[in-house]
Structures are given as structure tokens and as C-alpha cells.
Structure 1
Amino acid sequence: MPPVPPYPVLIDSHVIGGFGRGSSDLGIPTANIPPSDFLASDIPKGQTGIYFGLAKISGTYGTLVRHSPREGNGSKPPVAEVVQTENRIRPEDADVLPMVMSVGWNPFYGNSEPSAEVHMVHKFADQFYGANIKLAVLGYIRPERNFASVDELIEEIMNDIRKAKELLAEDGYKQIESNEFFK
């Protein structure tokens, strides 16, 4: 079954620094994109939650530096800057990959600002702040919600990843991997 309109939604962006919770708290690293890039897309406005699709990183990347101390309960991302270098994305990390993306306020953490956090189903050797990232958002999995514990949140994210992989295995989605957008 192919994606149902308004999908696919194609987003061309870059990786920015986020809260740092995906790797450290959850063991599920994310590549954050500017929320404005997501909000400017053709996704139905105001629909926060978990999306699935395909992603590809490319280009050069840098290092995230100059974190300021987190204020309060960590509801605002730390201030950081990407120092660009000539590090290139490794060929084995440059494939079109399955992804899940959380968009919204992350009620478990009580964010004061929205975020768009992409988890690509792949083990990367490096972090790739500042790299280009292309997303083909292919559908919506569920609305965002709060959780009673970190373990419950991790379990739900793993369910989202399983659901995304099942959906992406369908023939209508496989063809999108070769879309000109990812070239």
C-alpha cells in the first residue's frame, strides 16, 4: 500500500543539537532538526506525535560544543554551537534508513519548546551535528503522550520502531528508498 496523502512529505534540513536525552537517558540516539523545518512542511498543522518514514544523512559534520548548564528541569535545550569540520559521512552511514520521528512537546520531560527528533534505525559510529538530513515522512503512528517512567517511555519507543519497520516493509513504501529526493 503506498503512502496516503498528504504523505510522502519531504523535508530537507540539517542536524542540530538537542537536549542530549536520546542517547544518554534512553539509549536511543536522535538527530534533531530545527522545528521550523518540520512546521514549514506539508504535515497537518498542530499534529504532534510519532511519525515514520525514511531518512538519509550526507555531507560534512562537526562537533557540538559550548553547552550551557541546563536550567530548571531541563525543559529548554542547552545552548550549543556546531563547530563545522571536514568530517565526511562514512559510506556505510549514508544509506536511506528507516526512521521514527517525535514531534512536539515531549510531555514526559515537560519541554517548554517543541522539538523534532529523528531516530534512524542504524548504529552510527559518530555523531553528525551539522550534517544534511533528508526525511521522507510517510505516515503517522500515534499522538504524543506522557509516561509513568523512563522504562515505559523506552518500551513505547521500541514499539514505535517495530511498527515503523513493519509498515516500511510493505511494497508501497519500498519504492520510496530510490526516490530522486535521496540522490
Structure 2
Amino acid sequence: MRPHTAARCPPQRRRPEPRLSCRGGSGYFRGRPLAAQRIYRAVLRIIRHPGSGSAHPRGAVLAMGNFDGLHQGHAALIKAACARAQATGKPAGVLTFEPHPRSVFMPQGEPFRLTPFRVKEREIARLGVELLFVQHFDLEFAHRSAEYFVEEVMLGAIGLSHIVVGHDCTFGNRRRGTPELLREMAARHGFGVTIVEPVRGADAAVYSSTHIRELLRGGRPRDAAAQLGRFWEIDGRVMVGDRRGRTIGFPTANLGLGEYLRPAFGVYAVRVSGDGPDDPLGGRTVDGVANIGLRPTVGTPEPRLEAHLFDTDTDLYGRHLRVSLIEFIRPEKKFAGLDELKAQIAADAAKAREILADLSSQASEQER
């Protein structure tokens, strides 16, 4: 696919270099160029199936959770673990579960993930974590007791020195593992426990993955971004579409939604960046307009994301893209024909340019 090149080509924004620090913090507008992503991934060591024979440093300070979304509450918990690790000279680690327990208990449920593992790994690495322990979760493991999990996994396989969890953490068979049980077992076995109380935003709302899902389903990506600390994104490889957009002057990069939550179907102002060693955008972030849904005018059997990148002439087929949802413009609509559809896409693109230009102005004001 070679998207249409417009006559007006504004300079592209290059994403600033992030800091490698436990303190982390991405903000709305901070991106991560490919070089920085490679540094993060070189720092982060992933240990799958703890106890299966892979050697790793023992004595880590661990943050534990599913961390779907890696929102600001999750980040606060992980930063607390990093801070303690830094103060005590221990490795900073995260213990998480894959597949997500919800998908194991409800395999036929609708897609709900905010951050598939590849995204969760990237965001955890950004916070400066050294060790990522990935506990395989299945029904057999779900029937293990909370005591087994502490003694055999946390202490035996991982060898932690301190655990950091949220106030509402539960684990083990029938969710009998609680912060109170952790304190009891810590006293018995000699490890430390930190319980992190609810973290609230400026509007006093508790940061919550459930609330973020509701916001995205309601077409409120900016409100979701306030909870996440960054704009929510969908990433994946560009697949071959029907090339219909090319025939009406708006070629698109098409991504499947996979296990991602289905946000409100409709048209969004978006920002697009590349990912991986074959980044087709060379570390740039490109503005665009995207439709998410079933394309009622022409129809498609599965919902997909179709993004038109502004002022870009790049071969994108088979390349990995990250598409951040900035603002919802309108719901999906069935048009009488392609001419009517083309006119509406042009109007949507103009609206998206306006939204994104205003966002850039806001970012510039914040940086002054």
C-alpha cells in the first residue's frame, strides 16, 4: 500500500527521548522512538514460568497484578516497588499472569484487553523494571491455594524479598489470597509487604481498568487517556484490505482488532507510529483519521481499524503500526454510495486535522 501524498506536507514531529528511570511517567504526548524501545527491552528481562529452571537474580522487590491497561494506578504501584528496590539495592520486578485470568474463566466472552502482553511488556519496561515474571495461568493453576502460590511461586521459584500489591488484590483458589493473608505469611516467612491504597486522579476518581473500558466503549478516548496517562492505542501488523480506499483517494492501513477491547465504532482522529526493527515511519508520529468497526457502506465480516495517514507516502503492508485514538468524531454510518462516502471522509479528515493541530498547540503550551 502506498498512501496518497498531499501537496501540503507539514514537518513531522519526532518523539522526544524518554528517561530510563523507575520514576517513569509518559504523559499524554511523550512517545518512544525505536532506539529507546530497544534500550528498554534490553534492560527488561522476561522470566516465563517461574521455577521452570531459568536462573535469575533472587531477592527482588515485586509488584504483582494483571496490570491490564497499565494505567496510572498500576504505574504508581510499580513505581512503589521500584523505589523500594532502589532504596534497598534489590532488583525491581513485576509478577503478572498470562493469559489474563478473565479469558481463562470466560473463554467465549467478548474481547476486553486494553493491553495485550506485547504492549504490557513495553509499558512495564518503560517504568524501569528489571525483571518481568510471567506466570502461566490456566484452570489447573487457578485451583492452587493462595498459600501454595506464596510458598512455591513467590518464595520458592522467584525468591522475592518484598511484595507490593493493591489494596483490593486477590489471588489463589476462590480468591482467598488477600492483603491480610500476605501480611500473615510475611510475618511467618520473613518477607516484606507493601499495600498500595487507591490512587485517584485530579477528578478524585480511582484509576480503574473497568472504568477505562467503559470510557472507550462510550467513545471517550480523551477521558480514558486521563486515566491511562497516555492515549490508548491499538497496535498490529498492516493486513491486505480490499483497497477500496485507494480508489476514492483515501488509502488506508488496515489492522485487525484481535483480543483488543472493541471501542465505540466510528471515526477517530488518530496519531500513528511504527514499531519494531522494520519501523516504516522512521521514529516519526504521523497524524491521521481512522474508522473502527464494520464499514456499513461496504461491509466487513469482522471489525477492523482502517487508518488514513496524512501527508505520507510509505509502503505499510506487513509493517507494525501503533494507532493512538485521540478523539471520537462520529459514529459509523451507512452511505448511499461511494461518492457520498468520499465526501464524508474528506470532512472527517479535515476535522481530524483541526483536532490534532489544536492538540499540538496545547502540548506546546504545556512545554513552555
**TM superposition score category, shorter chain reference:** 0.5 to 0.7
Instruction: Measure, in 1, the Cα distance between the counterparts of 2:328 and 2:358.
Output: 15
Native 8 Å contact 1:56 1:134 kept in 2:
yes
Native 8 Å contact 2:273 2:281 kept in 1:
no
Native 8 Å contact 1:168 1:174 kept in 2:
no
CA pair 13-174 structure 1, distance change in 2 beyond 3 A: farther
The answer to whether 1:35 aligns with 2:257 is: yes
SS of 2:351's equivalent in the other structure is helix
What does residue 9 of structure 1 align with? 232
Unpaired runs of 5+ residues, structure 1, are 62-87, 177-183
Instruction: Measure, in 1, the Cα distance between the counterparts of 2:281 and 2:299.
Output: 35
Instruction: Measure, in 2, the Cα distance between the counterparts of 1:54 and 1:173.
Output: 15
What does residue 270 of structure 2 align with? 53
- AA matched with 2:342: I
Say what the alpha-carbon RMSD is for the aligned residues. 2.6
CA pair 22-9 structure 1, distance change in 2 beyond 3 A: same
Instruction: Measure, in 1, the Cα distance between the counterparts of 2:223 and 2:361.
Output: 13
Instruction: Measure, in 2, the Cα distance between the counterparts of 1:121 and 1:174.
Output: 20
Structure 1 residue 121 displacement after superposition? 0.6
Q: Which has the higher contact order (CA 8 A, sep 6+)?
A: 1
Native 8 Å contact 1:52 1:164 kept in 2:
yes
Instruction: Measure, in 2, the Cα distance between the counterparts of 1:115 and 1:14.
Output: 12
CA pair 114-127 structure 1, distance change in 2 beyond 3 A: same
Structure 1 residue 59 displacement after superposition? 4.8
CA pair 114-98 structure 1, distance change in 2 beyond 3 A: same
What does residue 339 of structure 2 align with? 151
SS of 1:5's equivalent in the other structure is helix
CA pair 142-173 structure 1, distance change in 2 beyond 3 A: farther
CA pair 172-121 structure 1, distance change in 2 beyond 3 A: closer
Instruction: Measure, in 2, the Cα distance between the counterparts of 1:119 and 1:10.
Output: 15
What does residue 241 of structure 2 align with? 18
- AA matched with 1:13: G
Native 8 Å contact 1:60 1:130 kept in 2:
no
Between Structure 1 and Structure 2, how many residues are aligned? 140
CA pair 131-145 structure 1, distance change in 2 beyond 3 A: same
What does residue 168 of structure 1 align with? 356
What does residue 96 of structure 1 align with? 285
CA pair 50-171 structure 1, distance change in 2 beyond 3 A: closer
Structure 1 residue 143 displacement after superposition? 0.4
Instruction: Measure, in 1, the Cα distance between the counterparts of 2:254 and 2:361.
Output: 23
1:74-93 aligned at under 5 Å gives the runs 89=280, 91=282
Structure 1 residue 104 displacement after superposition? 1.0
Stretch of structure 1 that moved more, 52-61 or 139-148: 52-61
Instruction: Measure, in 2, the Cα distance between the counterparts of 1:174 and 1:11.
Output: 24
Native 8 Å contact 2:256 2:303 kept in 1:
no
Structure 1 or 2: larger strand share? Answer: 1
Native 8 Å contact 1:167 1:173 kept in 2:
no
Of 311, 315, 321, 1:127 maps to 315
Instruction: Measure, in 2, the Cα distance between the counterparts of 1:174 and 1:136.
Output: 17
Structure 1 or 2: larger helix share? Answer: 2
- AA matched with 2:271: L
1:106-117 aligned at under 5 Å gives the runs 106-117=295-306
Cα deviation per residue 1:5-56 (whole Å; 9 max; x = unaligned)?
1132123322111122111x3221100111226xx14x64xx2110112002
TM-score normalised according to structure 1 size: 0.66
- AA matched with 2:280: I
Native 8 Å contact 2:274 2:281 kept in 1:
no
Identity of aligned residues (%): 30
What does residue 326 of structure 2 align with? 138
Native 8 Å contact 1:60 1:131 kept in 2:
no
